[in-house]
Homo-oligomer: A and B are copies of this chain.
Amino acid sequence: MQVYDDNYFMKQALREAQLAFDSGEVPVGAVVVADHQIIGRGHNSTEQLNDVTAHAEIIALTAASNYLQSKYLHRCTLYVTLEPCVMCAGALYWSQISRVVFGAQDDKRGFIRYGKDLLHPRTRLEFGVEMDACAHLLKAFFAQKR
Protein backbone atom coordinates (compact mmCIF):
# COMPACT_ATOMS: atom_id res chain seq x y z
CA MET A 1 0.00 0.00 0.00
CA GLN A 2 1.34 3.42 -0.95
CA VAL A 3 1.15 5.93 1.86
CA TYR A 4 1.01 9.52 0.69
CA ASP A 5 2.94 11.01 3.57
CA ASP A 6 5.73 13.57 3.89
CA ASN A 7 8.36 10.99 3.01
CA TYR A 8 6.52 10.01 -0.15
CA PHE A 9 6.30 13.60 -1.38
CA MET A 10 9.88 14.41 -0.42
CA LYS A 11 10.96 11.39 -2.46
CA GLN A 12 9.09 12.93 -5.39
CA ALA A 13 11.03 16.16 -4.81
CA LEU A 14 14.20 14.05 -4.76
CA ARG A 15 13.28 12.62 -8.16
CA GLU A 16 13.15 16.19 -9.44
CA ALA A 17 16.52 16.90 -7.80
CA GLN A 18 17.96 13.87 -9.61
CA LEU A 19 16.79 15.36 -12.94
CA ALA A 20 18.73 18.53 -12.08
CA PHE A 21 21.78 16.42 -11.16
CA ASP A 22 21.60 14.59 -14.48
CA SER A 23 21.59 17.95 -16.34
CA GLY A 24 24.64 19.25 -14.46
CA GLU A 25 22.58 21.59 -12.29
CA VAL A 26 22.91 21.95 -8.51
CA PRO A 27 20.52 19.14 -7.53
CA VAL A 28 17.50 20.72 -5.86
CA GLY A 29 13.95 19.59 -6.53
CA ALA A 30 10.50 20.61 -5.36
CA VAL A 31 6.85 19.61 -5.58
CA VAL A 32 3.69 21.44 -4.51
CA VAL A 33 0.94 19.25 -3.09
CA ALA A 34 -2.76 19.97 -2.55
CA ASP A 35 -5.18 17.32 -1.27
CA HIS A 36 -2.49 14.60 -1.52
CA GLN A 37 -1.99 15.42 -5.20
CA ILE A 38 1.09 16.92 -6.85
CA ILE A 39 -0.01 20.10 -8.67
CA GLY A 40 3.42 21.56 -9.43
CA ARG A 41 6.94 20.20 -9.94
CA GLY A 42 10.27 21.81 -10.59
CA HIS A 43 14.00 21.32 -10.47
CA ASN A 44 16.81 23.81 -10.49
CA SER A 45 17.37 24.94 -14.10
CA THR A 46 19.44 28.09 -13.69
CA GLU A 47 22.27 26.93 -15.99
CA GLN A 48 20.07 25.52 -18.71
CA LEU A 49 17.84 28.61 -18.79
CA ASN A 50 20.58 31.16 -17.99
CA ASP A 51 18.17 32.51 -15.41
CA VAL A 52 18.98 32.94 -11.72
CA THR A 53 15.27 32.87 -10.88
CA ALA A 54 14.82 29.33 -12.25
CA HIS A 55 15.07 27.66 -8.84
CA ALA A 56 13.10 24.47 -8.18
CA GLU A 57 10.71 26.25 -5.80
CA ILE A 58 9.90 29.11 -8.19
CA ILE A 59 9.16 26.69 -11.04
CA ALA A 60 7.00 24.46 -8.81
CA LEU A 61 5.12 27.48 -7.34
CA THR A 62 4.40 28.93 -10.77
CA ALA A 63 3.18 25.56 -12.04
CA ALA A 64 0.89 25.15 -9.01
CA SER A 65 -0.52 28.68 -9.40
CA ASN A 66 -1.13 27.97 -13.04
CA TYR A 67 -2.94 24.73 -12.17
CA LEU A 68 -5.10 26.40 -9.52
CA GLN A 69 -5.49 29.63 -11.51
CA SER A 70 -4.72 31.39 -8.26
CA LYS A 71 -1.70 33.33 -7.13
CA TYR A 72 -2.39 32.16 -3.57
CA LEU A 73 -1.45 28.63 -2.53
CA HIS A 74 -3.65 28.25 0.53
CA ARG A 75 -4.07 24.61 1.59
CA CYS A 76 -0.89 23.66 -0.29
CA THR A 77 2.43 22.23 0.89
CA LEU A 78 5.79 22.78 -0.79
CA TYR A 79 8.30 19.95 -0.42
CA VAL A 80 11.82 20.96 -1.36
CA THR A 81 15.04 19.03 -0.94
CA LEU A 82 17.09 22.02 0.31
CA GLU A 83 16.31 24.94 2.61
CA PRO A 84 14.99 27.73 0.36
CA CYS A 85 17.12 30.81 -0.37
CA VAL A 86 15.97 34.37 0.37
CA MET A 87 14.47 34.77 -3.12
CA CYS A 88 12.41 31.60 -2.79
CA ALA A 89 11.35 32.41 0.79
CA GLY A 90 10.16 35.79 -0.51
CA ALA A 91 8.15 34.10 -3.28
CA LEU A 92 6.67 31.67 -0.72
CA TYR A 93 5.70 34.67 1.43
CA TRP A 94 3.67 36.20 -1.39
CA SER A 95 1.97 32.86 -2.13
CA GLN A 96 0.73 32.56 1.48
CA ILE A 97 1.35 28.81 1.16
CA SER A 98 0.12 26.76 4.14
CA ARG A 99 3.18 24.64 4.73
CA VAL A 100 6.81 24.39 3.68
CA VAL A 101 8.80 21.19 4.29
CA PHE A 102 12.46 21.05 3.37
CA GLY A 103 15.05 18.26 3.54
CA ALA A 104 18.63 19.43 4.03
CA GLN A 105 19.65 22.66 5.70
CA ASP A 106 21.64 25.37 3.89
CA ASP A 107 23.56 27.31 6.49
CA LYS A 108 25.23 29.52 3.87
CA ARG A 109 22.46 30.61 1.51
CA GLY A 110 19.31 29.45 3.30
CA PHE A 111 16.75 32.04 4.40
CA ILE A 112 16.51 31.02 8.06
CA ARG A 113 19.54 33.03 9.13
CA TYR A 114 17.59 36.16 8.11
CA GLY A 115 14.66 35.09 10.28
CA LYS A 116 11.75 32.70 9.89
CA ASP A 117 9.46 35.73 9.45
CA LEU A 118 10.58 35.94 5.84
CA LEU A 119 7.74 33.44 5.38
CA HIS A 120 4.10 34.49 5.78
CA PRO A 121 2.55 34.18 9.27
CA ARG A 122 0.09 31.66 7.72
CA THR A 123 2.95 29.35 6.69
CA ARG A 124 4.01 26.39 8.85
CA LEU A 125 7.67 25.44 8.45
CA GLU A 126 9.12 21.95 8.96
CA PHE A 127 12.35 20.32 7.95
CA GLY A 128 14.49 17.21 8.12
CA VAL A 129 12.28 14.89 6.02
CA GLU A 130 14.59 12.60 4.00
CA MET A 131 17.40 14.91 5.13
CA ASP A 132 20.22 12.42 4.55
CA ALA A 133 19.14 11.54 1.00
CA CYS A 134 18.71 15.25 0.13
CA ALA A 135 22.12 16.17 1.56
CA HIS A 136 23.81 13.13 -0.01
CA LEU A 137 22.74 14.13 -3.53
CA LEU A 138 24.14 17.64 -3.06
CA LYS A 139 27.42 16.32 -1.64
CA ALA A 140 27.77 13.87 -4.54
CA PHE A 141 27.23 16.73 -6.99
CA PHE A 142 29.85 19.02 -5.49
CA ALA A 143 32.33 16.12 -5.05
CA GLN A 144 32.23 15.35 -8.79
CA LYS A 145 32.69 19.07 -9.62
CA ARG A 146 36.00 19.21 -7.75
Contact = CB atoms under 8 A, between A and B. Distances in A.
Interface of A: 46-47, 50-53, 58, 61-62, 65-66, 68-72, 85-91, 93-95, 114-115, 118
Copy count, this protein chain: 2
The secondary structure that dominates the A interface is helix
A85 B61 CA distance: 18
A87 to B, nearest CB: 3
For the complex of A and B, the 10 pairs showing the least CB-CB separation, nearest first, are A87-B90, A52-B94, A86-B90, A87-B91, A50-B71, A52-B71, A52-B95, A53-B91, A51-B65, A50-B65
A61 B90 CA distance: 16
Contact of A50 (B70, B86, B90): B70
